[in-house]
């Protein structure tokens, strides 16, 4: 079977679906190929924190109906350690922006429905076997699909990333840290996102909905989710969140658990031939600062305008500038993510562990006491 489209997109995550919707709004023929089933991509739990720019993009293009109905505004976060707890109202700092908490699987469900309503074509359960960036061709078990432009949104381990030439630079870092990410069928226990630092390791509390809460526990990188039954998860969360001091957690069944390694990488340039990368295919970022979906939406907006200009008028200057436009923002997000990693995680047991531990204490003190540090945090926490 052979399909043709003006723009061929591989991957039905936030990057591919936002891009597809923006292109369809401009009357551009698009086809999205997704390796998973529709049920899988609409139930796959991922990030849920959307920054102000992401909310703006969705609103300006009529993609925020679910967000407006069910999203929750978050304007503060809290930090806990052995010295106590303090909260930062980041909406009152920096640019005065807030997060909108909306589970990514709900956003993806909304985007799929809107894309199909706009006449977009989307094929699920497609096994892609290879791509040709020079001819914008995708080979799969059903034949091949060809476009004028090919957009890779299939993640850091996808076939489009693998098709980048050796001349493309991949800046990569494994931070040597892993989180056990769990979804608990329990209401949030705190009114704010809470970061807890403990000698046992980092723990995090992130609301997802009135009924579901995301928790993180720092674990060994070679740990297995199976080693963390519900009882052990709650016992360790109670310890690291210091419930004896700050009050109990609302507990419930753990409905999902997986180990996430904190890794970062960036491809430069984000283009090869007629193929352009977006989302995790272009820049994987650690979850420490909740930037992944926000970077994907930013890249989709930039790419949509450039592709629209190229299709409508033949002007490809936006496509030529795609990497140089996006990469400074990507690196700014990477820098802040790295800053968060150093703030949240204790030192390894090296010869300078004591020095590193006191240095982290000084970072936290500066964030609590210094208005300029708070403004820096607020601007970067919500924005890119």
> What average pLDDT does this structure show over 337-357?
85
> What average pLDDT does this structure show over 105-131?
96
How distant, in Å, are the alpha carbons of 1, 55, 135, 174 from that of 294?
A: 35, 9, 30, 21
pLDDT score recorded for residue 353: 80
Mean pLDDT of the chain: 94
Q: Answer yes or no: is pLDDT of 293 > 80.
A: yes
Q: Answer yes or no: is pLDDT of 154 > 90.
A: yes
pLDDT score recorded for residue 1: 47
Label residue 349 by pLDDT band (50, 70, 90).
confident
What are the structural domain ranges in the chain? 2-73+97-173+263-339
Residues 6+ apart with CB under 8 A from 384: 51, 53, 291, 294, 295, 298, 329, 332, 333
What is the pTM assigned to this prediction? 0.94
pLDDT score recorded for residue 169: 92
Q: Answer yes or no: is pLDDT of 122 > 60.
A: yes
What whole-number distance in Å separates Cα of residue 201 and Cα of residue 348?
A: 11
Label residue 43 by pLDDT band (50, 70, 90).
confident
Q: Regarding beta strands 143-152 and 2-10, do their DSSP bridges make them parallel or antiparallel, or are they unpaired? A: parallel
- Tokens found for residue 329: 């923002």
Residue 184 · residue 255 · CB < 8 Å: yes
3-state class (DSSP) for residue 12: coil
> Which one, of 125, 87, 104, 86, lies nearest residue 47 by Cα?
104
Q: Answer yes or no: is pLDDT of 165 > 80.
A: yes
Q: Over pLDDT 70: what percentage of the chain? A: 99
Beta strands in 82-202 (DSSP E): 84-89, 99-101, 121-123, 128-132, 137-140, 143-152, 169-184, 193-196
Q: Answer yes or no: is pLDDT of 115 > 80.
A: yes
Q: What are phi and psi of 10, to 5 degrees?
A: -105, 115
Label residue 2 by pLDDT band (50, 70, 90).
low
Structure confidence by residue, pLDDT tens digits, 189-212: 998 899 999 999 999 999 888 889
CATH no. of 2-73+97-173+263-339: 3.50.50.60
Please identify every residue annotated as catalytic: 74, 195, 287, 291, 381
């Amino acid at each position: 079977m052979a399909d043709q489209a003006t723009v061929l997109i591989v991957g039905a995550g936030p990057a591919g679906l936002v891009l597809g919707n923006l292109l369809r709004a401009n009357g551009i023929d698009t086809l999205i190929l997704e390796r998973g089933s529709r049920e899988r991509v609409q139930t796959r739990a991922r990030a849920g924190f959307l920054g102000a720019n992401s909310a703006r993009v969705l609103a300006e293009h009529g993609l925020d109906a679910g967000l407006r109905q069910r999203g929750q505004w978050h304007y503060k976060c809290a930090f806990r350690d052995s010295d106590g707890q303090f909260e930062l109202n980041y909406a009152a700092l920096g640019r005065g922006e807030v997060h909108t908490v909306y589970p990514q699987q709900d956003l993806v469900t909304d985007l799929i429905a809107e894309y199909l309503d706009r006449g977009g074509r989307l094929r699920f359960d497609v096994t892609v076997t290879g791509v040709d960036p020079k001819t914008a061709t995708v080979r799969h078990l059903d034949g091949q699909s060809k476009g004028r432009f090919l957009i890779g949104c299939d993640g850091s381990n996808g076939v489009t990333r693998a098709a980048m030439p050796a001349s493309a630079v991949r800046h990569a870092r494994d931070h040597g840290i892993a989180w056990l990410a769990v979804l608990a069928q329990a209401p949030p226990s705190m009114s704010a996102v809470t970061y807890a630092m403990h000698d046992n390791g980092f723990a995090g509390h992130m609301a997802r909905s009135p009924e579901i809460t995301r928790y993180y526990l720092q674990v060994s990188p070679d740990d297995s989710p199976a080693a963390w039954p519900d009882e052990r998860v709650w016992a360790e969360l109670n310890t690291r969140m210091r419930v004896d001091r700050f009050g109990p957690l609302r507990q419930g069944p753990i409905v999902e658990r997986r180990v996430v390694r904190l890794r970062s990488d960036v491809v430069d340039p984000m283009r090869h031939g007629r193929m352009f990368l977006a989302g995790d295919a272009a820049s994987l970022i650690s979850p420490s600062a909740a930037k992944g979906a926000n970077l994907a939406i930013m890249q989709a907006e930039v790419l949509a305008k450039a592709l629209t200009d190229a299709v409508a008028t033949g002007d490809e200057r936006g496509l030529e500038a795609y990497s140089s436009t996006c990469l400074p923002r990507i690196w700014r997000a990477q820098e802040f993510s790295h800053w968060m990693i150093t703030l949240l995680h204790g030192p390894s047991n090296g010869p300078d562990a004591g020095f590193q531990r006191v240095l982290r204490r000084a970072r936290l003190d500066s964030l609590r006491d210094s208005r300029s540090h708070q403004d820096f945090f607020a601007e970067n926490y919500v924005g890119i």
